[in-house]
Amino acid sequence: MRIGELSKRTSCDIETIRYYEKSGLLAEPGRNSSGYREYATEHLERLQFIRHCRSLQLSLAEIRVLLDLQANPALGCQSVDELLDGHIAQVREQMAALRTLEQQLVKLRKQCQGPHSVEECGILQNLNEAAESHECACHDDGDNTK
């Protein structure tokens, strides 16, 4: 199959496929007598594997490690477990950071209740104060005694 068909079958952009080839994640395909790249079932399966890993937010470096491990089926899967455990820890850190961000945005949103002019907007006033190195509502720790 040609790159366009591979792209359609995997919902992967052609430029991304070429990038994966250049980076060594996807083997370079052979060429037919006309000089066109011919992708085999192995390319399709590998690209689907990569796409699935990317949907789980695994980095290209992590995917490369998994592909290397997959190429050595006799090895134990402890390295795979450790890689995934590390990724889970990263996801948990990101989730905690997102929860903190949500709380900050909610605090900031509460600074503007009801219709006002932009000049009187509590949100913009807080953002401006923070830009001037003053404390803002979204980053305080909730202690109003300061």
Domain harbouring 30, CATH code: 1.10.1660.10
Same domain, residue pair 52 and 82: no
Convert the pLDDT of each residue in 77-129 to its tens digit.
Answer: 999 999 999 999 999 999 999 999 999 999 989 888 878 888 888 888 888 88
Q: In sequence order, what are the residues at sequence separation of 6 or more whose Cβ sits closer than 8 angstroms to the Cβ of residue 64?
A: 24, 25
Q: Which domain holds residue 38?
A: 1-75
Average pLDDT over residues 9-31: 95
Instruction: Indicate if the pLDDT at residue 145 is higher than 70.
Output: no
Same domain, residue pair 3 and 48: yes
Q: Does 146 reside within a domain?
A: no
CA–CA separation, 109 and 138 (whole Å): 9
